[in-house]
Chain A
Amino acid sequence: MQRYIVSRLGHSVILLVFVSMLTFVLIHAAPGGPAILLAPEMTGQQIQQAEKSLGLDEPLPVQYVRWLGNVARGHLGESFGAGLPVTQLIADRLPATLELVGTGLVLSVAAGVAIGIVSAVHRYSIVDHLSTGIAFFGMSVPVFWFGLMLIIVFSTTLHILPSAGAYTLGAATSVGDRLAHLALPAIVLAMANLAQITRYTRSSMLEVLNADFLRTARAKGVSGRAVVYHHALRNALIPIVTVIALAIPRLVGGVAITESVFTWPGMGQLAVDSALQRDYPMIMGITLMVSIVVVATNFLTDLSYLLLDPRVELG
């Protein structure tokens, strides 16, 4: 067990280094350069000076190794645009994004698992068809259009929910106010993931419902309800851990657009701006952080399998 964990940790770290190398090469390989070096009023000499002061005149491998060395010491460098440390810029925006992603995750997992179980138990019922419909809608709708439609309905027509920001500016902060601001963006974010979670839960539940041990339980006279909630659900929940792990990268991908639609003060806008302006340290910092989250989730998922399911053996 211990050896397995250590070796998996090692693999994760190697994967992260590989990810950072790939990102580094990709962003530097494309033609053009950081937006700050493209200002029309700059002379060739000034550009060269700026490149030198940013360390961009050195060969790529040298730049990468220096970046990696700094990361090992906890420095992600300074943003080209803002001139502030990348860690500080991320730290400022991170809580709002975590709030949104966390709510979206809880919402989509809670709703998805519940709907998935009901559809599996009442297979081919109206509820099942309806939930399949919702799942397909969630898979097929453009995120920002769905957000826009919700704003039109709930904010500009019905006036019951705010359309922008994380709280009412200038007003005293209250839980109700924050929740009201969180509602629409969290729904939009959760919708994109609901499909996958619902369908996965449904099929994993169906598989268990058809298993031999459940037929035995029924034959022994266990009531229908007890079979579902006591015997089936327990076993069906194990693969659902995977779904949560799959949902996290998707949530992170969807959050940039959701934040931009609802002008949410999180990292999304920061990420988009830094990508468009080719702010190398910022791009590297954000990519690194997201990949750490993704790789850590995968690691924890595999680990939780070992703990949750005695049938899984170390491979």
Chain B
Amino acid sequence: MARAAVGRPSAAAPFPASALARRPSRVRRFWRNPFAVVSAGYVIVMIGATAAAPLVTPYAPDRIVLGQDLRPPSAQHWLGTDQNGRDEFARLLYGARISLAIGIVAVLVSVTLGTLIGAAAGAFGGLVDALPMRLTDAMLAIPLFFLLLAALAALGSTVLNIVLVIGLSSWMTTARVVRSEVLRAVNLEYVTAARALGAGSRRVIARHLLPQAFPSMLVASTLGVGQAILAESALSYLGVGVQPPTASWGNMLSHAQNYVFASPLLALWPGIAILLTVLAFNFIGDAVRDTLSPYQA
């Protein structure tokens, strides 16, 4: 109860009761956004189909059939076959597992790291604030993508490395946002009150400061999934993404490029899959932002 009441003291809600009463309308606000609803439906269906991939398609994603290469779409092969005679639809489904996993886990890494750094910087101040924030500035000034390439070339392009490298290079925005939210809350009365009651700094951060930053973290995470999927596809294009024969949307796209004249459709499918998925996460993130902070433009 008490926690819900202090959910957003800065918003125009003088009484705890009105803050509580606004809760359901926030959810309704989200569901009233048609793009967000369609996107959420799409993501749910896609995750379901991907998880149940063997039930959705009879083909194995890496079964090579000689003499069946680069076939156009047909009743047997809904989206045709690739350069090795593998079913394109099956590869797209199984590739979604890798691409989504990379997107989601990379975001978990980056949001966790960003939150830790941002919360510590905002709550403690002094050197704990100055050093990480200078690091953030520096990281934002480096052409990171280029260093990702160097790192992956050195470490080898395993899925784990790709996730770590993307996650470790994208925490800066979260750190900045969380820090500013924490800074805004750190001197409010209820935080001082909690301190006066003897709450330790860990408890103050976890129970009183971080809930303030939660909406921003949620927005950053949703948008981040899309960005991480795009990053994987870009790394694949340059040859340091997920390595074959494992299918990922990025490496399907980058291989299809070689057959763009013989079979242009092959480059179309994974591109559309990436586009729709990233689009869906962006729409959801945007709607979440509108829902949680309606007073921001």
Contact = CB atoms under 8 A, between A and B. Distances in A.
B139 to A, nearest CB: 8
A26 B138 CA distance: 13
Interface stretch (A103-111, A181-189, A282-290): A282-290
A294 B282 CA distance: 26
A295 interface: yes
A32 B154 contact: yes
A22 B147 CA distance: 11
Interface string A125-151: 000000000001101111111001101
Nearest to B145: A253
| Nearest 7 interchain pairs by C-beta | A30-B154, A203-B297, A145-B271, A275-B149, A140-B278, A140-B279, A275-B150
A15 interface: yes
A136 B238 contact: no
B134 A253 contact: no
Given A15-B138, A27-B147, A275-B146, A140 B238 contact: no
A140 B275 contact: yes
Contacts, number: 141
A231 to B, nearest CB: 18
A299 to B, nearest CB: 11
B146 A140 contact: no
B128 interface: no
A90 interface: no
A253 B144 contact: yes
Interface of B: 134-135, 137-147, 149-151, 153-155, 226, 230, 233-234, 237-240, 250, 253-254, 257, 260-261, 264, 267-268, 270-271, 274-275, 278-279, 282-283, 286, 297
Contact of B149 (A136, A141, A249, A276): A276
Contact of B275 (A15, A22, A145): A145
30 contacts: A15-B141, A18-B135, A18-B138, A19-B141, A23-B147, A31-B154, A139-B226, A140-B278, A140-B282, A142-B233, A142-B253, A142-B275, A144-B237, A145-B253, A148-B271, A149-B271, A151-B260, A207-B297, A249-B141, A256-B146, A275-B146, A276-B153, A277-B153, A278-B153, A278-B154, A286-B143, A286-B146, A287-B142, A291-B141, A298-B141
A30 B240 CA distance: 15
Interface residues of A, number: 49
- Looking at chain B's contact residues, is the secondary structure mostly helix, strand, loop, or mixed? helix
B149 A15 contact: no
A257 interface: yes
B234 A257 contact: yes
A295 B240 contact: no
Contacts of B253: 142, 144-145
Nearest to B264: A152
A156 interface: yes
Interface in A1-47: 15-16, 18-19, 22-23, 26-27, 30-32
